[in-house]
Amino acid sequence: MTDDREIRYLSSNARQTALELVSSALVALCLLTACGGSDDPVERAKELSTDAFDTARRQGVDLMRAPCIYYPNTPSGKNSWFAFVVFPGDGSPREAALKCPGGKTLGYVALDQSGEIIEVEGVPLDWQGIER
């Protein structure tokens, strides 16, 4: 006697991958919709930067090779600031910022290797924190 219903079981690896995809999608959605964020543009930039750091860490990004971790998309399409990680030997946060695209002209949020904010420079006060 055969049963017409098929029961499909996901392997533990497939289940873990599915959970990671759902988690990443939720984090991305939260970042895109400014979920639970501050109304102050500089505070919002700090929140988005630490969220980007946490996401990069979770995804296994080699931050020494790719320290420039976040550029917000504004409605105009112009970036006005970015986030990056500073490592020992980089010199000052400003010197480390120059290694990132736009480092000479954009404001920034600098984080240390553990994700703590160490410097914020030039994040425009009129930045609305709108993500697309």
In the chain, beta strands by DSSP E: 68-70, 81-85, 107-111, 117-121
Q: pLDDT tens across 22-54, in order?
A: 444 444 444 444 455 678 888 999 999 999 999
Cβ distance 120 to 46 under 8 Å? Answer: yes
Q: Which residue range(s) make up the domain with 68?
A: 12-121
Question: Is 70 inside any structural domain?
Answer: yes
Question: Is 3 inside any structural domain?
Answer: no
Contacts of 24 (CB under 8 A, 6+ apart): 55, 58, 59
Instruction: Quote the number of domains for the chain.
Output: 1
Question: Is 37 inside any structural domain?
Answer: yes
Q: pLDDT tens across 52-107, in order?
A: 999 999 999 999 999 999 988 666 767 788 999 999 999 999 999 999 988 888 88
Question: Is 114 inside any structural domain?
Answer: yes
